[in-house]
Structure formats: C-alpha cells, structure tokens
Amino acid sequence: MKPIKIGTMEILPAALAVTLLLGCIGGAVGYALKLPLGMLLGSLVAVGGTALLGLRPLGQPIHMPQPLRMAFVPIIGLGIGGAFTPQIFAHMAGWTPSLIALCAFVPMSHFLVYRIYRLGKLDAVTAYYGTVPGGLVESVALGEGAGADASVLVLIQFLRLIITIVTVPIAFLFITGHSVGSAAGVAMEGASNPLGPLDVLILTIAGVGGYWVGRKLRFPAPIMTGPLLASALVHLTGLTDAIPPGWTIGMTQIVVGTGLGARFAGMSRATLRRGAGLALIGTLASLTLAAGFAEVLHLAVGLPITAVFLAFAPGGVTEMSLIALSLEVSVVFVTMHHVIRIVLSVSIARLFAHRVQREKT
C-alpha cells in the first residue's frame, strides 16, 4: 500500500494500523494486569519493545507519526480545563511558595544532572542540552544548533520522559497502596455530566481554536495549554459543564503510549547502550531532588506530598497531567507547575548556553 502524504507528514496505512493494534493489545494487557497507568505503560512497552527488537508484526514496521499522537493531546487539556472553578483561583495564592521553589529546582536539577553526564564522559554541549529538565522539542532544537550529538541528545531527553513516566506511577503504588490509573477511565470533575451535541460542538471549537490561538501566541506546549485555557474559559462562563468522557482519556493513554514506544524504531543498540545508563541515573537524581522539594513544600501549599512531587517530577506535561488525573490530585496545580517548568527550563538553557560554548572551544 502506497504512503499517504498529509502536508509534510507521511503515513503508511498498513504499518500504522498494525502499530495501533499492537498498542491496543499492550494497553488492554496493562489494564487487565492493573499496572500503574496500565493503558499507557502497556502500549508503550508493547510497541517500544517490538521496535527495539526490530520485529515487524504481520510484516509491517513500527510506524506512528508524532503529529498523530499529538492530535489526541487536546483531549487532556479539555478535561483539565473543566476543573477550573472560581474556587481554584482562591487556592492559587497559596501556591506561591512552590512556584518560587520551582525557580530554584529547575537550575539545580539541570546542574546536578549535567555534572552526572559529564562524569559519564558525555561532551559538554550534548550533556548541557540533554539535561534541560523540560521542553524536549525546544531542547533538542537548541542542542542540534549548538553542535550536540543529535542521536544521543534525542535519546537522553526522550528517556527522561520514559523513566519518569514508569517510575512515578510505580512509586505511588507503594506510597498510596493503589494502582495509578488502573480504572478504565479517570475521574474528573464534570465527567458525570451528560455530553450533548452542543457540548461536543463547544468542546471541539475550544480544542481546535485553543490550539490555534496557543500556536499564534507561542504558548509553551500549545497543543495542550491552548485547549486547556479555552476549556477553562467555556466552563467558567457557563457555556458547558461537560468534559470529554472517561473512555477518551483511556484512548489517549493508549495513543500517547504507542507514540512514545514508536520513537524507539530505528534506534541503534549502540546509541541506546551509550545513553540509557546515564539517563537512568540522571533522571533518578532529578526525581530524588523533586521528592526533597515535595517533602519541604507540601505543608506550605496545603496539598498532599504526592501532588507536589508530581508537580516537580521532570516528565512531560501531557504524561504528568494524565497521572494527576488518575490520582485525582489537584490537576490544575500540577499542570500549571509543569507549564512554568518548561518556560523556565528553556529560558535558563538559553541564558547560560554561551558558557557551554566557551567550554566546547
């Protein structure tokens, strides 16, 4: 079957169908086994493992264009936007200590993991951009422009997300005693409200329009933050009190996990061996630092330690928000911190980039 081109994206229909089927099977197994965030982790392991082993199910390669994965992310933003209430704004003033602490956490995490990577014999430029604790796309683009080893840079930044996604739910399983996201859907405020045709139309407009506005205004992670703010607006103004149904969040877990797993396709084992150990040590160090901040801050902000830890964990804003939804913690609190973390991470990386350039020369 010939590839289909949509703009600059090339889709292999048969390969895509097989990859999604594999992701669905993995997600179903993860759900049946009640794994932490089972649908996401199950699909990630199934697709990523197949890609790393170089297998071709039904004779097809692993294939999942990233724009297709991102097309499902607005669903998360729309769901989180439904959690915005007037009471949320009253609580935001109490988040000041953690937001200030985040300004210290980002450079501390960056420096700590950078030193670990340098001890691991990674060159200065690759280590510097590979340890930016947020903004994967922006970090990779900046690093490639500065002369970093592109394959290693992408790997260690990508593994930062993967290791965090895997580690955090498992850690919470031991802390809370129950599996994160083990239900078919996740409970969100407004999930029980009936979803009529008008609600579907309003949420669709909020999703598409929010993303468009977010891109125009250069929001961080606009694919989620744009729809999130648009959803918050339509809920606060009373245009709708409904959100995407729980099954759509489960479907998004599978698509996100499949897309993450597909990133391993074509990755050489030599590159994986070179970066995997360093990424594991560096990410665990950053998570330990996040746990320390959470221990100090959770009483100051009046939220469970799990919520504060999740707000500081160096994962992707999409994946961390999914975990927050599954834990039924303050998802607005968690998401806001991760959006600010991305802005801080990229800004600080640009601010001190000249020092790494001097070290390179």
What is the SS3 string spanning 331-361?
HHHHHHHHHHHHHHHHHHHHHCHHHHHHHHC
Does 298 map to a domain? yes
Structural domain boundaries, residue 179: 86-185+261-360
Does 348 map to a domain? yes
Closest CA to 64 of 252, 259, 318, 253: 259
Tell me the pLDDT tens digit for each residue of 279-323.
999 999 999 999 999 999 988 888 888 889 999 999 888 888 877
Q: Is 349 exposed, middle or buried (0-12, 13-18, 19+ CB in 10 A)?
A: buried
Residue 140 has pLDDT above 90, yes or no: no
Closest CA to 115 of 347, 280, 342, 285: 285
Does 99 map to a domain? yes
Please report the pLDDT score of residue 303 as a whole number: 83
Please report the pLDDT score of residue 319 as a whole number: 81
Please report the pLDDT score of residue 131 as a whole number: 94
Does 7 map to a domain? no
Does 201 map to a domain? no
Does 44 map to a domain? no
Q: Quick one: tokens of 110? A: 């960056």
DSSP state of 57: G
Please work out, in degrees rounded to the nearest 5, the angle formed at the alpha carbon of residue 285 by the alpha carbons of 279 and 290.
125
The tally of domains found in the chain comes to 1
Tell me the pLDDT tens digit for each residue of 226-237.
999 999 999 989
* 3-state SS, residue 257: helix
pTM above 0.85, yes or no: no
Please work out, in degrees rounded to the nearest 5, the angle formed at the alpha carbon of residue 49 by the alpha carbons of 48 and 51.
65
Angstrom distance (rounded) from CA 120 to CA 114: 10
Answer for the pair 16, 67: CB distance below 8 angstroms, yes or no.
Answer: no
Please report the pLDDT score of residue 332 as a whole number: 85
Closest CA to 262 of 51, 77, 85, 3: 51
Angstrom distance (rounded) from CA 288 to CA 101: 15
* Range of lowest pLDDT (112-116, 175-179, 252-256, 273-277): 175-179
Most confident of 146-150, 207-211, 326-330: 207-211
Confidence of residue 1 (pLDDT cuts 50, 70, 90): low
* Range of lowest pLDDT (35-49, 156-170, 178-192, 201-215): 178-192
Answer for the pair 13, 58: CB distance below 8 angstroms, yes or no.
Answer: no
Angstrom distance (rounded) from CA 343 to CA 353: 15
Does 328 map to a domain? yes
Confidence of residue 184 (pLDDT cuts 50, 70, 90): very low
Angstrom distance (rounded) from CA 136 to CA 153: 10
Angstrom distance (rounded) from CA 308 to CA 319: 16
Does 195 map to a domain? no
Q: Is 253 exposed, middle or buried (0-12, 13-18, 19+ CB in 10 A)?
A: buried
Counting residues of the chain whose pLDDT is more than 70, the rounded percentage is: 90
Q: Where is pLDDT greater, at 211 or 189? A: 211
Tell me the pLDDT tens digit for each residue of 71-90.
888 998 898 888 777 777 77
